[in-house]
């Protein structure tokens, strides 16, 4: 296990908030299913929702290094990659049996039987699915995984620990290869205080990140199994480097060291959003200043908009920040 860097999470999680989120999840699942069934006769190829560089190519950094040019502070340039011209795809014949399993999974979600729904959805992913159904399955599965992972609810990958005298969240996070933020969020902790006898649940496994530049998606895997898909933005003019990286020391509320100097977190000109995950390349140490971060411009997601970094919605990077630790592998590819 790699040495884990744990940064104190600044905002205490809001306890007992997952009930309304589960209701939202149910409604989202029903809406997604209705949309899928209505549009199955005209299936498209849309995948659905789904980092020392040269100073001129860096978007930004949480360390004092040259970063994105000042011109990048304006509205992001959107290249042709966003909507590549292509002939109309052939209509994929729906698989009635697979569609029925998807409907059954939605009914389980509506009934708040998330673990059973999860099993059905993972079973679906083992089939050769039409693109639209595969995308809908991953989207719904990601919502179910979040609802289970970020709550005290049971989950196959979770282990339980009984707090002993002298324990603290930082040491436990290091021991379990997770983050303080995740332990707080998933156990409904209002503060840092622990008391002997408390039961803490945590994800017992290893994450990895896969970024597909051509599809503007970031897939998160837990124990080599799909966990959740996120939509991202990448670098303009193919500036996002491809290769294998590892996550460095994550930062919450990052300052941005721009070409014009330090821009603190919260300033309107700070482009990094709420969290920063630096990317480190052992094979290409010259790649510096790249990372995965949030954004002040949600409309840029799904396009070539940055100077090289991978951008996410702030709510999405917050989630990934809580799950991955220093040393988490990241692969970026076309």
Position 45 scores a pLDDT of 36
For the annotated catalytic residues, the residue numbers are: 293, 309
Domains of the chain and CATH, by start: 8-157+206-334 (2.40.440.10), 158-203 (3.10.350.10)
Q: pTM to 2 decimals?
A: 0.77
pLDDT digit string, tens, across residues 141-163: 999 999 999 999 999 999 999 99
Instruction: Collect the ranges in the chain with pLDDT lower than 70.
Output: 1-94
HEC string for the chain? CCCCCCCCCCCCCCCCCHHHHHHHHHHHHHHHHHHHHHHHHHCCCCCCCCCCCCHHHCCCCCCCCCCCCHHHHCCCCCCHHHCCCCCCCCCCCCCHHHHHHHHHHHHHHHCCCHHHHHHHHHHHHCCCCCHHHHHHHHHHHHHHHHHHHCCCCCCCCEEEEECCCCCCHHHHHHHCCCCHHHHHHHCCCCCCCCCCCCEEEEECCCEEEEEEHHHCEEEEEECCEEEEEEEEEEEHHHCCCCEEEEECCCEECCCEEECCEEECCCCCCCCCCCEEEEEECCCCCCCCCCEEECCCCHHHCCCEEECCCEEECHHHHHHHHHHCCCCCEEEEEC
Position 259 scores a pLDDT of 82
Position 183 scores a pLDDT of 98
């Amino acid at each position: 296990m790699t040495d884990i860097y744990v940064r104190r999470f600044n905002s205490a999680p809001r306890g007992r908030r997952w009930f309304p989120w589960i209701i939202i999840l149910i409604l989202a699942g029903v809406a997604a299913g209705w949309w899928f069934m209505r549009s199955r006769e005209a299936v498209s190829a849309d995948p659905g929702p789904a980092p020392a560089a040269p100073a001129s190519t860096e978007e930004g950094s949480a360390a004092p290094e040259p970063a994105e040019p000042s011109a990048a502070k304006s509205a992001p340039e959107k290249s042709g990659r966003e909507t590549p011209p292509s002939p109309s795809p052939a209509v994929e014949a729906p698989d009635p049996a697979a569609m029925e399993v998807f409907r059954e999974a939605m009914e389980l979600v509506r009934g708040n039987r998330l673990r059973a729904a999860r099993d059905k959805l993972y079973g679906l992913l083992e089939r050769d699915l039409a693109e639209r159904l595969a995308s809908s399955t991953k989207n719904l599965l990601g919502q179910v995984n979040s609802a289970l992972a970020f709550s005290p609810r049971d989950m196959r990958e979770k282990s339980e620990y009984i707090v002993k005298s002298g324990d603290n969240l930082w040491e436990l996070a290091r021991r379990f290869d997770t983050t303080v933020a995740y332990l707080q969020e998933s156990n409904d902790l209002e503060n840092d205080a622990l008391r002997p006898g408390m039961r803490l649940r945590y994800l017992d496994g290893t994450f990895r990140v896969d970024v597909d530049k051509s599809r503007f998606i970031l897939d998160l895997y837990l124990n080599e199994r799909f966990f959740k898909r996120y939509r991202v933005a990448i670098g303009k003019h193919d500036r996002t480097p491809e290769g294998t990286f590892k996550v460095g020391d994550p930062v919450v509320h990052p300052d941005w060291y721009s070409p014009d100097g330090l821009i603190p977190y919260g300033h309107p000109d700070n482009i990094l959003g709420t969290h920063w995950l630096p990317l480190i390349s052992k094979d290409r140490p010259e790649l510096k200043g790249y990372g995965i971060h949030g954004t002040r411009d949600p409309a840029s997601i799904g396009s070539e908009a940055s100077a090289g970094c991978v951008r996410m919605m702030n709510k999405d990077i917050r989630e990934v920040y809580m799950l991955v630790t220093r040393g988490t592998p990241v692969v970026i590819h076309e």
